[in-house]
Each structure stands twice: as structure tokens, then as C-alpha cells.
Structure 1
Amino acid sequence: MTGETTRLHGLDAMRLFLMVFGIPYHAALIYGLHTSWLFHAPESSWGFAALAGALHSFRMGAFFLLSGFFSALTIGRRDVQSWMSRRAVQLLVPLAVSMAILTPPQLLLFVMARDNLPISAWQMALPGVVAILAHPNKLWVLHLWFLIDLFLVCCVFAGSYRVGARAFRAPLDRLERFAIKAPRLLGVGLLAVLVGGTLVLQAMQAANHHRELNLFHDMIQIQSTLYYMMFFALGSVLYMRPAILRWFAAPGFLTGIMGLLAVLGCGVCAPSESHAAQVLLPALATVATILVSRWMFRLALEHFNEPNNWVGQVSGASYTVYLLHHPVVAMLGFICVREAVTPILSWLSIVAATTIVTVTFHVTIVNRSRVLAFLVNGRALRQGAHTLRSHTMRDA
């Protein structure tokens, strides 16, 4: 697993599925009951809200877990400073480009929906867009929060890597031996620790009058960043300790059933406005993330680890699809809502069209231009800097 030439094809496939899940998730928010997005259809569906809650329960946590795994893999191949410099380029260049190019059109749709303006009167929405852009706020980043959080987590990881590697060597050695001797207890202990961490973060929010602790005009939500940092840390441990990885990637049938129940529980709780459901939801999402990720690792490494050109090409497009799918879903969803397309037909059309458009854009345009690959994927402009391409930003 740790060899210089190892290509983790199975985890490419896992990343592909996680990327694809983002498209139906955001499309479902347009029609979900009690869901909040750029705009909302007049019809509200419990089913779409449940679907969005189920998909979101594990998707982002699994992304951060993969990011931690690949970060631990790549940081050992170069010095920490150069690794962090490369990560900064990979994350911040696409972030800046996307904020400049992709955010304003989405804000235009937001203002048009808010003010109930017809498509033909889009110019009337421009003052509202300018007003939003004039003052920093969370609408500046929209779905790009992931890049900000990942950059912050990578900063912490790089800053603590050398000290942490020494300080945690002995505890991780003991944990690795424990994974061999008592795998079931390790599973229970892992869930207890991460659910406990989730409850601590919820308590922090409750102490702050049930408001998120925010920085930079709500663009950074501290509890959210800390929450996903837990999964990033777990991912890095999985790479650094092979015995723990073997345990993690070998879940039993009961683990799968429990993971499915946790996902379904999140789907039920997400549309609910009851206080109990909203308190339970984060803990259930943590359980879902761990259990579903274990099965995804198993399936990825056992059944998808052979070279596959199609999976390689499409998973290589994951960063582009991540950046572009949100505005494409917004544009198509806005048109469908205005044209009163039935919700299920609208959702299916948006998911299919967005997948095709974004993947095609990457394969036919981004992949053929070094400049675009740099601006959209943060890929190095120099040919010699492509050696780690398989394991760099594809973990986002």
C-alpha cells in the first residue's frame, strides 16, 4: 500500500461515487421539505428531504477521511513545507477562481428567485448581486466551504505532522496491536470516541445559544471544521498503520446493516423540525460515516482495485465536477422550477445532465489545457510536477 508506485484504483472508484452523490444531493435540496438552498421550488417533498439527509450523512465525512488518508500518503514523499505549499496551490487557486467566476452567476439566480424576477428581467437582479458582493458573507463561498475547511485542516496536519508522528507513535502502535487482538472492541471504541467528539461540538454550539462559532463573516464555521477534522485524522491513521487499515476495510455484515440503518435514520431525522431529531442527527451522521466508509473501503479495495480506464478518467474529473456541479445544478434547477417541471422529472434531468456536462467539460477541455488544469484543479503547470497527480487533489 505504501510503495512509491502504488496506485489505489479502488479508492479512485470510492472517490468517484462520493463525487457523484453530490449531484443528487444538491438537486434534492431544491424540492426537499424544510431544506435550505439558493432557492426552493413551490412544491416541498419529504422524500427529497430524506434523500438529501441520507446522502449528506456520510458523504462529506468520507471525503475528509479519504483526504486524510491521501495526505498521510503524500506528505511522506516530500518535506512538510513543500507539501503544504503544493496543497495551498491545489486548494486556494481553484477556490479564488471559482469565487470570481462561479459565485456571481449563482448569486444572480439567488436574487432572481428571492425577488421573484422573470428570467427576461435578469438585469434587475444585478444591484442585489452587487449588494451581496459588497459585504463579505457566507454566500461568497457557497459549496466552496469544503476547500476552505480542507485547507485549514491541512494546515493543522502539516504543522503538527513531525511532532505528532513522534508523540503518537507509541499509542498508535498499541492501537494497531489492539486492532489485531480485539477488532470488535476497537469498532465500538472508535464509534464512542467520534460520537463523543460530535456531542462535545454540539455542546459548544448549545453554549453559544445554538449558533455556530463563525469566523470571517460566517465563511468559516468552527464546529464544522473541527467535526470534519476528526475524520481527516482517522484517515491519516489508516494510512500510517496498515493493521488498522486492514481492520477498517474488513467490516462484517452486521456493520453494513447498522450503517444502512444509520443512513436511513439520518434520512428520517433531516426533514423533521423536532428538537430531538435535530439533536440526534449529528451523532447518527457520525455513525453512518464510519460504518458506510468501512464498507466503501472494503468494496473499493476488494472489487475495484484493478486498473480501469473509465474509472480513472472519471475519478480524475472529480475536482472539476465538484467545482462545477453546484452552479450547473442551480441553473438547471432554476429553469425547471420556472417552467413548472414535475419534481421527479426535474430531479432526474438535473442529475443526468449535470453529470454529463461536468465530466465532459473536464475530459474535453480541462484535461487538454495546462492553464485550465492549473486554474480549475490546481495542477502544476510544469510537466515534472505531475508525479503525485494520482494522490493529490483527487482526495477532495
Structure 2
Amino acid sequence: MINAFREKQAVRSAKDRVFFLDSTRSVLMMMVVIVHSGAVFDVEGYWLVTADNPRVWITTLIEFIALFDVEGFFVVSGIFTVMTARRHGTEALAERRLKRLVVPLVTTAIVLNVPFSLFMRQQGLCDEPVISLTYLTGGWVLHLWFLVNLVFYTMIMRASLPVLLPLAEKLEPWLRLTQMKTPKGTRLIILLSAVSLAQLALVGISHFTPVMYAELFFGSSPYSFLHHFMFFLLGVTLGSFPSLWKSFTRASAPLYATAIVLVCLDVVITAPFYLDILVENLMVVFVTFSLIQCLFAMFNKFLDRPSPVWQHLSGASYSIYLLHHPLVVLLAFVIFRTSWPAEVEFAFVLGGAFTISWLVHVLLISRSPLLSFLFNGKSMKRGDGSKTVAGTQDKPA
């Protein structure tokens, strides 16, 4: 009786964990819609289209979200990769996860990105020929770059997880023992220090090797590829060690205090250029890590049980992300013909991009087995727009 109860509790705990991770992934993906919508009103005017009435508060908002949303997404991706490997075996990574990545990548590139690029050329906002070596090697990627990265990360894990997972099982008892003998929050600080040192090493190498910042393949630079791979590996580590995962999903006052101190030091201290760059990057990594950890701790507390609303948003978030990018630009062209306040225009672009993408998912993608496969990379029972044959853990993350 006791064993049956424990087994039932373990199954429930695993389902709750999947729901929590899936909800976190969905929120992070949909936050990118806020970032792209706000980029239209960025004071630096760096995006594809820029309004003539930028706002500092919108710029501050999107810069804050940009500190943690993409990096947090890759952390979730790493965790899901380990969960898939443990549930279905490392051999299934190529079949299950790559299908969820490559099929929507190719479909969205052909159906949306190429026509969108033609439209941008017609509007005089892009002078790059569609049929060109540059375009064929990455010009079509645009907002799909994270899928390209995940394809490469998944292939790397397919080769390395058969070695890493057995090693993690051997090290897990030692980690549990150290947790009992060290002050609370120590392991998070150590883990953060490792991430910070890796980031500083990457910045140092890139500083002396400018080619690291060049977009060499599929719209991504070696620096960007390695930077996000670092957070993906953080997710793999959390997924491989249950005791680390438990610590990561609990609020950590020492971690947040350290991040705040570093922010204050970065503001107050004046140092030589090279030292200032190192301190700034160290601060950014600490803040990014702390925000991701705080988000995980908060969501683990408040989103630890399935709910119909979050399950629906989770199912729609992939489609919303894939579809929103060209919609933001098209809606921006609409507001350029108005004289509305910037706040109203921002709400119009954000609400319009989100709503239209969601409606396309609800009315078309979720109801068609073919569209569900093409845009979400999952098989669907005909006549059932909410359940998948693949299962809950086969997420695009």
C-alpha cells in the first residue's frame, strides 16, 4: 500500500514538473512578442521598422525582458532534452525532438519568412536579394534562429548524453551529501560562478577574435551560439541532477543579494576599460542567472498544478512565436499612418500580433493534423486538436 502511494505521488510529481516547465517555456516564448512589439518604439531604432515616437519606458521594459527570456528558454530546453532522453532513450532524441524543431523551421521559413523578405524588399527596408549566397546561408532565418541553435544542441546531446547521464547518476549521491554539509544557497552560488567564468572566458576570447561576432552560419554568430549553449548546458545540468534542480526552484536570498551588490558596484566603480567590460559582463550574467532562477522559483510555487488556461496557452505558444514576427511589422505599418499616442500604438501592435497568431492557431493549426505537423511538428489524432500522440514531454523547447 505504501509503495503504491509513493509511486502514485512520484507520477503526480513528474506530471506537475512537466506542467511547470511547459508553462515557464510558454511564458518565455510569448515574452518575445512583447520584445519585438516594443522594439518598434526603441529609442535606439535598431529593429526592422522604427516608429517616429519612441519611448524610454518601452525600451527599458524590453531591455529588462531581454536580460532573461531567451536564456531562460534555453535552460528549459536543456531540461526537456534530458527528460526526453530519460523517458524514451537517447536514441529517440533525433526522432522526437528534431521533428519538433526541423519541420516547423522549414515550414515557417518557406511559408512566412521568404514572402516576408520579399515584402521588406518591396518596401525598401531590405536590399538583400532573396536568391543569393548570403540569403541561402542565413538571411531567411530572422526570428527562427533559436530553432537552428536547438537543432545543433540536440545533435550534440544525442552524442554526449549516453555518457553524461550515467555519470550524473554516480555523482548525484555526492551532491546530496555536500548539500547537507554546506550552507543554504552555496551550490547555487557555485553553479552561478561556473556560468559566470564561462561567460567571461567567452567574452575574452571574442574580444581578441572579432570573427566571433560575425554572423557566419544561419543568422547566428559563434559568440551567440556559444553564449546560448552555455545556458542550454545549465538546463542539461539541472535536468541531470535532481538535487540541483530542487535548489534551483527555491527562492535564494544570497543569490539575489549578490546580484544586487554587483549591480551597485558596476554603477559606482570606475575602472580601466578592459576591467570595466569584465565587471559589466560578470554583473549581467549574475543578474540574468538570478532573474531566471527567481522566475523558476516563482512559477514552481504558483504554477505547480495543471490548469485549463495554462494548458491552452502552452499548446498555442509555439504557433504564436512562429507567426508573430511578420505580423508585428505589418501592424507597425498600420500605426505609421495614425497619430495615436505611442502607448496606444504599442498596445495595438502587441495585442494585434498576439491575438491574430492565437486565432490562427485555434482556428487552423490546432484543428488540422497536417498544419499541426507542419507548424508544431507533432502528430495529432484526427478530430482532436488538444492531444498529441507524442506525449507531453515532446515540446519544442
- Aligned match of 1:6 in 11, 15, 21? 15
| 2:88 equivalent in structure 1 | 78
| 1:300 equivalent in structure 2 | 299
| 1:271 equivalent in structure 2 | none
Give CA deviations for 1:121-149 in whole Å, capped at 9, x if unaligned.
xxxx8xx56x1343334431011000001
- Aligned match of 1:136 in 134, 137, 140? 134
* Residues 171 and 340 (structure 1), Cα distance of their counterparts in 2 relative to 1, 3 Å cut: farther
| 1:119 equivalent in structure 2 | none
* Residues 190 and 374 (structure 1), Cα distance of their counterparts in 2 relative to 1, 3 Å cut: same
1:38-57 alignment, distance < 5 Å: 38-57=48-67
- Which amino acid in 1 is paired with 2:34? P
- Which amino acid in 2 is paired with 1:195? S
Using the alignment, how far apart are the partners of 1:339 and 1:264 within structure 2? 42
* Residues 92 and 114 (structure 1), Cα distance of their counterparts in 2 relative to 1, 3 Å cut: same
How many residues get paired? Answer: 376
Contact 1:57 1:289 in 2 (8 A): yes
Contact 1:74 1:391 in 2 (8 A): yes
Q: Structure 2: any 5+ residue segments left out of the alignment? A: 1-8, 268-272
* Residues 13 and 77 (structure 1), Cα distance of their counterparts in 2 relative to 1, 3 Å cut: closer
1 or 2 for the larger relative contact order (CA 8 Å, sep ≥6)?
Answer: 1
| Match status 1:391 vs 2:388 | no
Q: CA deviation at 1:67?
A: 0.9
Q: CA deviation at 1:244?
A: 1.3
* Residues 61 and 202 (structure 1), Cα distance of their counterparts in 2 relative to 1, 3 Å cut: same
Q: CA deviation at 1:55?
A: 0.7
Contact 2:90 2:158 in 1 (8 A): yes
Using the alignment, how far apart are the partners of 1:262 and 1:233 within structure 2? 24
Contact 2:172 2:243 in 1 (8 A): no
Q: Structure 1: any 5+ residue segments left out of the alignment? A: 116-124, 269-273
Give CA deviations for 1:53-74 in whole Å, capped at 9, x if unaligned.
1111100111011111111111
TM-score when normalising by structure 2: 0.83
1:17-96 alignment, distance < 5 Å: 17-96=27-106
1:356-371 alignment, distance < 5 Å: 356-371=355-370
| 2:157 equivalent in structure 1 | 157
| Match status 1:233 vs 2:242 | no
Using the alignment, how far apart are the partners of 2:58 and 2:261 within structure 1? 18
Contact 2:23 2:314 in 1 (8 A): yes
| 1:101 equivalent in structure 2 | 111
| 2:222 equivalent in structure 1 | 222
* Residues 82 and 243 (structure 1), Cα distance of their counterparts in 2 relative to 1, 3 Å cut: closer
Q: CA deviation at 1:394?
A: 4.5
Give CA deviations for 1:143-201 in whole Å, capped at 9, x if unaligned.
10000011111111111011222345444543343334323221221221111111111
* Residues 85 and 298 (structure 1), Cα distance of their counterparts in 2 relative to 1, 3 Å cut: same
* Residues 221 and 355 (structure 1), Cα distance of their counterparts in 2 relative to 1, 3 Å cut: same
* Residues 208 and 161 (structure 1), Cα distance of their counterparts in 2 relative to 1, 3 Å cut: same
Contact 2:96 2:394 in 1 (8 A): no
What is the identity percentage for the equivalent residue pairs of Structure 1 and Structure 2? 23
Greater displacement, 236-245 / 306-315: 236-245
| 1:195 equivalent in structure 2 | 196
- Which amino acid in 1 is paired with 2:357? T
Contact 1:201 1:227 in 2 (8 A): yes
Q: CA deviation at 1:81?
A: 2.5
Contact 2:189 2:255 in 1 (8 A): no
Using the alignment, how far apart are the partners of 1:177 and 1:95 within structure 2? 44
* Residues 202 and 291 (structure 1), Cα distance of their counterparts in 2 relative to 1, 3 Å cut: same
Using the alignment, how far apart are the partners of 1:154 and 1:366 within structure 2? 25
* Residues 243 and 312 (structure 1), Cα distance of their counterparts in 2 relative to 1, 3 Å cut: same
Using the alignment, how far apart are the partners of 2:292 and 2:51 within structure 1? 32
SS of the equivalent of 1:37 reads: coil
Contact 1:379 1:386 in 2 (8 A): yes
* Residues 333 and 264 (structure 1), Cα distance of their counterparts in 2 relative to 1, 3 Å cut: farther
Contact 1:69 1:239 in 2 (8 A): yes
After superposition, the CA RMSD in angstroms is 3.2
- Which amino acid in 2 is paired with 1:393? K
Using the alignment, how far apart are the partners of 1:6 and 1:107 within structure 2? 41
Greater displacement, 20-29 / 43-52: 43-52
Contact 1:2 1:73 in 2 (8 A): no
Contact 1:98 1:323 in 2 (8 A): yes
1:107-126 alignment, distance < 5 Å: 107-112=117-122, 114=124
SS of the equivalent of 2:290 reads: helix
| 1:319 equivalent in structure 2 | 318
Using the alignment, how far apart are the partners of 2:233 and 2:15 within structure 1? 22
Using the alignment, how far apart are the partners of 1:261 and 1:50 within structure 2? 21
| 2:206 equivalent in structure 1 | 205
Using the alignment, how far apart are the partners of 1:17 and 1:91 within structure 2? 19
| 1:186 equivalent in structure 2 | 187
TM-score when normalising by structure 1: 0.84
